[in-house]
Amino acid sequence: AVAARSSPDAVSLTQEPVLVCTEAQLLREGRWSGQVHGRDVVVFHHLGGCYSMDRICHHAGGPLQDGDIEDIAGHACIVCPWHKIKITLATGESLYRAIDPATIKQRPPKTRWTSKGVKQRTHTAEVRDGNIYVTLSNDEQKVDSDYYYSEEYKKLVSAS
């Protein structure tokens, strides 16, 4: 049988878990940011859970580690400090207020929180023996935040 080959666009990240900080440090500071296998990652502690995602905001490169966490329609979200995009901690989905078409003629029309889909790559953060380990995502499907690790972006940065 021929081995399945992934597409040239597929994302492949090292799967070895990395110890990033102690649980006590994460509880104290609420968040950790740094590199995991060369990837900029942030870990949040929120309401007893640990969440990890790419640190650089998919929208325009904002520092998610400096954002506030808010509850948006029942989803814990990090709010990017640059343009206030709301990203769910659990799934990396970007939420926005969509106008309800049934109310388009009302002033103002009604809106509801809607997902634009997964825009920020999430990773796995877990507690083991008092330490926090991050395992990078094994999802090959590209998401917008992957742009900051692309050849295209590296060329742009080295040319500026």
Which spans of this chain sit near ligand FES (rule: CB under 6 A)? 57, 59-62, 80, 82-83, 85
Closest CA to 120 of 88, 157, 154: 88
> Which CB atom, from 17 or from 63, has the smaller least distance to ligand FES?
63
| Beta carbon of residue 113, minimum distance to ligand FES (angstroms, whole number) | 16
| Beta carbon of residue 67, minimum distance to ligand FES (angstroms, whole number) | 8
| Beta carbon of residue 68, minimum distance to ligand FES (angstroms, whole number) | 13
| Beta carbon of residue 61, minimum distance to ligand FES (angstroms, whole number) | 6
Three-state SS at 149: helix
> Which CB atom, from 18 or from 76, has the smaller least distance to ligand FES?
76
Sequence-distant (≥ 6) Cβ neighbours of residue 70 within 8 angstroms: 76, 77, 79, 86
> Which CB atom, from 46 or from 59, has the smaller least distance to ligand FES?
59
CA distance 113 to 94: 10
CA distance 37 to 128: 19
